[in-house]
Chain A
Amino acid sequence: MKTIYKTFRSFLNENRIRINTFPILVLGVVITLLISCDNFVEVDLPGSQLNGETVFEDATTANAAMAGVYTKLRDTGLLTGRSTGLSCRLGLYSDELDYYQANDPNYFYTNSLFSAESGIQDLWNQSYNVIYSSNAVIEGVSASKSLSQNDKNHLKGEALFVRTLIHFYLLNLYGEIPYVKTTDYVQNSKVHKMPVSEVYNQIVNDLSEAVLLLPEDYISSERVRPNKAATHALLARVYLFMGLWAEAANSASAVLNNPLYTWEPDLDKIFLKGSTTTIWQFIPDSNTANSAEGNLFIFNSGPPASVALNNNLMSSFESNDQRKTHWTRAITDGNLTWYHAYKYKLDSGAGISSEYSVVFRLAEQYLIRAEARARQGDLIGAKEDLNKIRNTAGLNDTNALTSAEITTAVLNERRFEFFTEFGHRFFDLKRTGILDTTLASKPGWSHDDALWPLPAQELQANPNLNPQNSGY
């Protein structure tokens, strides 16, 4: 640089040129500065973002990544208590709920879904987004160098639990689906459907691993993160759907024998946040908020704004069924009467939160074991479990006698126990093969509605997912 300037200067002197050198020097400095700072265009990471690798080097941020998964589960996708979740949509799709927002058609209610329908597309995408996030946690903690083994175990266990849970629902809604276990988009964009049994095997494998990883106790004071028992509870359900009765009963027993869970005879306390029958629940987004279900289902004057309980459901309750009294509420305008689900009694925040959305609860484990026992011929044990539920609802012991009768009674009991909870009704009708007979009189119902269509965009983006489910 110096030599160039010298040459330049002497050139000027030799030629007797006098120019004002100042602006040239300034310009020279500016240009030099600009040339020397190619790294001017290298910017730091914005304060609101974290590098993917560093997230899993610290227990707090790694936990936050898992919290992000629960936030998505609570607020979007299949399990949200909002109107886009399964509690509402499958309630409408089957025979639990009626739809009143008639000027905004709901194709779940009319059973006229089509492959380009945005609701099924959104649920699909949100589900796989949660699966991606879970896989990212699994991969992140595995690669982490500084997380403690303890943290690694429970985080991986939770992520596995969530991954299986979502796949389980997708399988029962869309039929054969791909089981996604990596974050690699190149691989995930070409995935093929898997036979149903294969998906179940994957689920069982993952859950078996999660059982080993998750702690017995909850990692926090409230039951808002899945523990070992939650995994057993999900396994019990999965085995039930697979028809593996002994395994289903054993898994349910693992929960029912767990001293963390004690029976709550008061129907009004089951959905409170401190309920001892709760296995896993979602904590609301603030300490004054309550469940999304309460907000969705409760209405105080008729006609209802969006949904109300189906009249056929209401008239099917046995007389004296305390669940009708405690878990539903009648609203009348003097002329007509409508009912809403009243398991959650608060439709908005008022003071400190008292109701959380319960995803897994003890009653299901009793009824799973009841059904599994009945189907295996353990009729006494089956009736014992079934009557536990019936008695709490203020009903007498069941008078079912045979294995088949008890199984039917359990399924019937499930209808009144789990209405407007995550589509239990629809899945029960479906797995027992009585969807068509039960919903025959519903306008719009047809045999192929047992499966939802695969989203049209999905088939267009990945033809490996063909063929489309029949009827669409």
Chain B
Amino acid sequence: MKIFSFYKGRILPWYTFVSVIYLCCYTTRANPTLLKLPNQQQQITGTITDGVIPLAGVTIKVKGTTTSVVSDFDGKYAITANTTDILIFSYLGYKTLDISIGNRKIIDVKMLDNTTSLQEVTVNAGYYSVKNSERTGSIAKITSKDIEKQPVTNILATMQGRMAGVEIIQDGGTAGGAFQIKIRGQNSLRTDGNSPLYIIDGVPYSSETIGSTETSTITASQTSPLNSINPADIESIEVLKDADATAIYGSRGANGVVLITTKKGKAGKTTVTITASSGIGKVTKMLDLMNTTQYLEMRRQAFVNDGITVYPNSAYDINGAWDQNRYTDWQKELIGGTAQINNTQLGIAGGSSSTQYLLSGNYRTETTVFPGNFGYNKGAVHFSMNHVSDDKKFKLTFSGGYTSQKNNQPSTDLTGISRSLAPNAPALYDIDGNLNWENNTFENPLASLISKGVIKTNDLLANAVLSYEIIPGLEFKTNLGFTDLKNNEVRTMPSTMYNPAYGIGSSESILLTNTTLRQSWIIEPQLRWNRTFTNGKMDILIGATAQQQKNNRLYQMGYGFASNSLINDLSSANSVFTFTSDETVYRYQAFFGRINYNWQKRFIVNLTGRRDGSSRFGPGKQFAVFGAVGAAWLFSNEKFLKENNSILSFGKLRTSYGTTGNDQIGDYQFLNTYTSAGTPYQGTIGLNPVRLFNPDFGWEINKKFEAALETGFFQDRVFLTTAWYLNRSSNQLVGIPLPGTTGFSSVNANLDATVENTGIELTLRTLNIDHKNFDWTSNFNISASKNKLISFPGLEASTYANNYVIGSSLNITKVFHYTGLNTQTGIYEFEDVNGDGLITADKDRKTVADLTPQYFGGIQNQFRFKNLQLDFLFQFVKQKNYDYIANVPAGAFYNQTAAMTNSWQQSGDNTPYQQSTTGTNGEAVTSFYNYRSSDAAIVDGSYIRLKNISLSYDLPLKMDKNLKCRLFFQGQNLMTFTSYKGGDPEFKYAGYLPPLKMYTVGVQLTF
């Protein structure tokens, strides 16, 4: 890795700067005078609509000339042309129309959605945008059309199954939960260092979790700030994958970049759009658990097996304390509810040709599937304004969004208890309607609902882009961004959540509060220059970044209250402890540049680079340089193909190679520090060492290579993109796991290990039928990837020896090899690899199970019949995953899957499961936990899921042309096909509420 400081080369950017100035001056001199307008023949006027509303901003051009006008506010235009001329109507996202004028003076035009103009679509590449046909990098995109069809709140959910190379897993079905995303596999050995960089309208948006694990206990991971983004305000999401696209993001591009562009206003009449929808959500899949008869049978057998003849006092399920004829389906009772989902969106947009605006508001509520009164509310406001000065030299874009969320959830996810509670456990409520404690024998699961977790997040995001065209072709632009997030999480544990018989009073009630403030700003001045030569076009961009992010966290506990009604007031607590009160600053600066040359629309070369400095590294390690080269050959523009080819309409071969980095290690990690222990000793708040310190770690570096073929056939009605990539990450920046004897579990350091990700991605889009009344489009994507640890000097002697294998994926787990049940002893048996007669984790967990998905993707079909549209997406994943195995051996006071009824009972029994034990049979307990860590616990977790279905109907409203009414039905996760038996196959962390299936219906009015 090359790391050097530019102290000596400080003058270099000046040279660049001066050369650019020289080039632009050259342009001014060389610029020919404008062509003269042809003679005026007649004036053509008309109105342009999309069938319902007028379209402003449509370009109308006289073919073969430079004469062009733009339609106004009301979609009206006027242009002078000859009768023999042809008018070209073009507008982004719509089919370009060529219309011969003839004798007409009024030409009204209805523009049609363009479903095939893939080549013309502009793709946002962050610092610049590029025509799809001319891009050299690998960029996947979805637009508001796809996003709007999905009744979800998190933008990552909208991408699932729709983008090749992007693997997304939902953490769980609780509203406000997070998603796991991996773009082209895992690059870093550090499991938390694989997040992509998120950029919203040019402003980096930190996806680092907020809050505290103690206050957001309902979800598998801490609160994700990404929930603040309202999907309905998103115009498009682009995912940058290869070096060509990501190297300009330098140190933060290793795991890909997710660019989010919000909606902007369009010139034209003021349009109001109101969308209201309402729906329900249910848990996708429940487990097949034992009923009372099966359960009690298992329990009795366990006592027999353990040789215990007298049921202990505490075995309430079986010793007579509880009714043995009672049966409750606890899953149905505790997580089987129906969540209500309501969503309302209101948007107003419009503007003149020089100034456009958009203002929208959204309000969404979601209740839970748990019993009780919980819910998630989210309100969002989004504003956007664009302005262009009269001389078109000065441009201003402003966009701002404010989101406010309140997530009121129980502090415990009841999924775990719903699976473990004995089926003959007593009723939840007694006759008087109070929580039933069954004479102190029952830990009532509903009591945990009294302990609440309320998460409030307010998030402001503002961004302004100012640009000025200094001379034609040379533009100075500054991007200014500001984010301000405030998150407050409160978890209350009032004394009433405990059995009143324990006599716990409000003097033991607990309040936990955590406040996170995150503020960031960014300034990115840029200079861009472009020039057209006879044979080509050149684009140059140079820019600089200065960014700061400040995080404040205050985590406190209040203990003991005069009354539980004061529990939300920290100042009423008898004792207040401050566990965390800190401020961290992350600063970041960079220079970046891009040179792009497009030769005759046949060959394109794209050079990008960035020099980065990050405060996350110690002195001397802060700076590094990253860069990439990308090239494309549009062979369909070659003469030999262009002239005699009716099948191939587009052909491009592109490739790229470059480096990116990763600095996701957290702040101040290179310092040797002590921090407050939070609680006092003798009135002194103790100081504890924070970490084992190592000041000498630096960037993780990621080299990416990609080769891709993009082909369009039959006027692009069939469009196929095939990409192959090879990424290698080295100088791995990790928390190297250490034995506990060091006092800590890890130390940050660079590891001389290399991880390789290779894969093939295939995206196919076909326009199967394109008829006036009926069209049918299909999209298909599939990604097959391979993750491999290719080198790791000293792996065998390192603490990773039992985690990784050279030549295998990082996502492996080393497990015991299950050899079967000993039919004599009724105990699971495993391969004793080293033959020492013992089954030990370090010596015998040698079987490698790979949990990397072999392939995944989605098939989307979209049908339109007149005003009716049907769209559905099947998502598929081929993978292995952990089976559901209860946390404790069968036989304990804990429910099990119905399959466990088939357990060994006596010598000679050949059953799939070992003998049950109440927990006293140490050998059975040990082998049970070994079984959980054996290859028997890893099963096929593949699935095909009807991820999304959307049916909409535009009401044919004759009386009012300006009113458009659309009715729609949307569904999410409606059907899942899988052989997996452990509940829902989509999970990252076991034991949490599975994703919900949702049905919503709604109406959209536009006028």
Contacts and interface: CB of A to CB of B under 8 A. Distances in A.
A15 to B, nearest CB: 7
Contacts of B505: 348
B676 interface: yes
A67 B688 CA distance: 9
B742 A188 contact: yes
Interface string B288-317: 000000000000000000111000111110
A26 B316 CA distance: 79
B893 A103 contact: yes
A109 to B, nearest CB: 8
Nearest to B500: A301
Contacts of B582: 46-49
A131 B692 CA distance: 13
A111 interface: yes
Interface string A16-40: 0101100110111011001111101
Nearest to B5: A38
A68 interface: yes
A466 B919 contact: no
Given A23-B476, A301-B501, A461 B799 contact: yes
Interface string A154-182: 00000000000000000000000010100
Given A15-B25, A63-B684, A64-B687, A461 B738 contact: yes
Nearest to A302: B440
Interface stretch (B139-147, B767-775, B837-845): B837-845
Main secondary structure of the interface of B (DSSP, over half): mixed
B929 interface: yes
B110 interface: no
B512 to A, nearest CB: 15
B508 interface: yes
A116 B844 CA distance: 14
B439 A132 contact: no
B921 A112 contact: yes
Nearest to A19: B471
B6 A35 contact: yes
A463 B687 contact: no
B661 to A, nearest CB: 14
B782 to A, nearest CB: 37
Interface stretch (A121-129, A143-151, A394-402, A425-433): A121-129
B315 to A, nearest CB: 6
B14 interface: yes
A114 B580 contact: no
A302 to B, nearest CB: 6
B591 interface: yes
A41 B738 contact: no
Nearest to A188: B742
A300 B740 contact: no
B991 to A, nearest CB: 14
B939 interface: no
A451 interface: no
B647 interface: no
Given A49-B690, A289-B575, A17 B29 contact: yes
A468 B838 contact: yes
B422 interface: yes
Contacts of A225: 682
Interface string B557-598: 001100000000000001101001111111111010000000
B583 A48 contact: yes
A217 to B, nearest CB: 15
Nearest to A100: B314
- Most B Cβ at <10 Å: residue of A46, A115, A287: A46
A96 B403 CA distance: 56
A288 interface: yes
A48 B689 contact: no
B680 A71 contact: yes
B470 interface: yes
B668 interface: yes
A116 B930 CA distance: 9
A40 B584 contact: no
Given A132-B743, A303-B314, A459-B841, A185 B692 contact: yes
Nearest to A55: B674
A81 B932 CA distance: 32
Interface in B638-696: 667-668, 671-690, 692-693
A444 B920 contact: yes
- Most B Cβ at <10 Å: residue of A11, A103, A129, A446: A103
Interface string A85-124: 0000000000000111111010100111111110001001
A460 B588 contact: no
Contacts of A114: 922, 925-926, 929
A45 B671 contact: yes
Given A132-B742, A303-B314, A50 B925 contact: no
Given A67-B684, A103-B422, A285-B577, A38 B7 contact: yes
Nearest to A62: B687
Nearest to B582: A48
A70 B687 CA distance: 10
A128 B743 contact: yes
- Most B Cβ at <10 Å: residue of A112, A283, A461: A461
Contact of B740 (A34, A41, A125): A125
A28 B650 CA distance: 43
B952 to A, nearest CB: 48
A465 interface: yes
Contacts of A31: 13-14, 17, 525, 544
Given A336-B313, A462-B739, A50 B841 contact: no
B28 A348 contact: no
B167 to A, nearest CB: 28
B45 interface: no
Contact of A444 (B525, B615, B739, B921): B921
Interface string B19-41: 00110010011000000000000
A443 interface: yes
B850 interface: no
B96 interface: no
B926 A472 contact: yes
A75 interface: yes
Interface of B: 5-7, 10, 13-14, 17-18, 21-22, 25, 28-29, 306-308, 312-316, 420-422, 439-441, 443, 468, 470-471, 476, 499, 501-505, 507-508, 525, 527, 544, 546, 559-560, 574-575, 577, 580-589, 591, 613-615, 619, 622-623, 667-668, 671-690, 692-693, 737-745, 747, 799, 801-802, 838, 840-842, 888, 892-894, 918-922, 925-926, 929, 933
22 contacts: A1-B14, A41-B622, A50-B673, A51-B674, A64-B686, A71-B679, A102-B892, A112-B919, A112-B921, A112-B922, A112-B926, A129-B744, A133-B688, A185-B692, A189-B741, A301-B503, A303-B314, A304-B440, A333-B439, A349-B560, A349-B575, A457-B740
Given A52-B693, A65-B687, 13 more contacts: A27-B525, A31-B544, A38-B5, A38-B623, A49-B674, A60-B684, A71-B679, A72-B677, A133-B688, A180-B743, A348-B507, A443-B307, A457-B740
Closest 4 CB pairs of A and B: A132-B743, A68-B686, A48-B582, A444-B920
